[in-house]
Amino acid sequence: MRKINWYVGKTVFVAVLMVLLVLLALDVVGTFIDEMGSLRGEYTLFEALVYVLLTVPGRVYQYLPYASLVGCLAGLGILANASELVVIRAAGVSVARLSWMVIKPVLLFVALGIGLGEYVTPYTDLVADSRRALAMGNQHEVQVQGRLWTREGNDFIYFGAVHPDGVIHGLTRYRFDGQRQLLEASYSREVSYEGGYWHEKDVAITHLQNDSAQAEHQQSRRWDTDLSPTLLNIVALEPHALSIRNLFFYSSYLRQQGLETGEYRLALWEKALQPLATVSLVLIAISFIFGPLREVTMGQRIFTGVVFGIVFRLTQSLLGPSSLVFGFPPIIAVIIPIAGCFGLGLYLLNRTR
């Protein structure tokens, strides 16, 4: 029985790994080609290559559930085409036990995904975004292009680029009063965290009073804020690129500021339940092999797996934003497709007994 367990596990593991590598290769090549259209300034071909390579861990994390689905269909399909599943069943191995043999190697990929999502992708994505933003900006003015906005009290803050070591390039702040009237706008070329607080350098300030505006320039000034370098690294990333602990931490910070947390709570539940999503897709693959895809070609199995993965992803993409628009808990939007996969998989497996 140990040899059967090892043989099934090895076949599934290799199939999932090969599918993951194919998906990753296609995505990396496509992304690199897209980046070539953005080359300008110091953003050279080498910098584009570095950017794509730094985002590889995030792409691996993204594709793991779907690679597990298609890989299990391919691996079990190989065993089915060679009639090895029939022999294994004839040896007294139940469907439940065979399913566990298939799920065990997938758990290794689940562990890989957890490790990448928690400890690797938040750092590599931040480095990739900051390098790209700086390289694409004007090398003399360091006014880089970014997309990082946050709010703290009556201050609206825009970051050009953020480095993991606590350095900001291109900081713009807009300060409003209680009646939402703009009081002050400032731009700092560089901001660094030293001695427990932020130092702004080369600061251009515009004071607005009634119908007049007064310009001021300071070589440096202190910026008192609750944004620590750790919190700033969280702000600089999209919610889906953050770790579970940082999503929970930043959601708490947003609640303290009286801001909306729905997008981050949705990402939190998506990441926390991704292992269950992966297992549910594997269960679908197993049930398909023993059910409707028992006697079809390998191409049909892979096509079915790709289509089902797309449907699963589209369902998640529709339900997630819907929870933010209609106000129902994000965890429900995340659980519905996972529960649907579990239900369908168990139903099909039950019919094979």
For 261-320, the pLDDT digits (tens) are 889 999 999 999 999 999 999 999 998 888 766 777 778 888 888 899 999 999 999 999
d(CA 319, CA 334): 7
Q: Which two tokens stand for residue 296?
A: 């079809």
Q: How many CB atoms lie within 10 A of CB 228?
A: 15
For 211-236, the pLDDT digits (tens) are 788 899 999 999 988 888 888 878 77
d(CA 191, CA 228): 12
The confidence band for 49, taking pLDDT boundaries of 50, 70 and 90, is very high
Average per-residue pLDDT for the chain = 88
For 1-23, the pLDDT digits (tens) are 788 889 999 999 999 999 999 99
Kindly report, as residue ranges, where domains of CATH 2.60.450 are found in the chain: 148-247
d(CA 261, CA 110): 27
Class of domain 148-247: mainly beta
The confidence band for 142, taking pLDDT boundaries of 50, 70 and 90, is very low
pLDDT of residue 106 exceeding 50, the answer is yes
- Do residues 76 and 102 make contact, with C-beta atoms less than 8 angstroms apart? yes
Q: HEC profile for the chain?
A: CHHHHHHHHHHHHHHHHHHHHHHHHHHHHHHHHHHHCCCECCECHHHHHHHHHHCHHHHHHHHHHHHHHHHHHHHHHHHHHCCHHHHHHHCCCCHHHHHHHHHHHHHHHHHHHHHHHHHHHHHHHHHHHHHHHHHHCCCCCCCCCCCEEEEECCEEEEEEEEECCCEEEEEEEEEECCCCCEEEEEEEEEEEEECCEEEEEEEEEEEEECCEEEEEEEEEEEECCCCCHHHHHHHCCCHHHCCHHHHHHHHHHHHHCCCCCHHHHHHHHHHHCHHHHHHHHHHHHHHHHHCCCCCCCHHHHHHHHHHHHHHHHHHHHHHHHHHHHHCCCHHHHHHHHHHHHHHHHHHHHHHHC
Q: Which two tokens stand for residue 347?
A: 């139903």
Q: What is the pTM of this model?
A: 0.83
pLDDT of residue 270: 94
Q: Which two tokens stand for residue 203?
A: 């600061």
- Beta-bridge mates of residue 221: 200
d(CA 316, CA 335): 9
Mean pLDDT of all residues in 123-137: 85
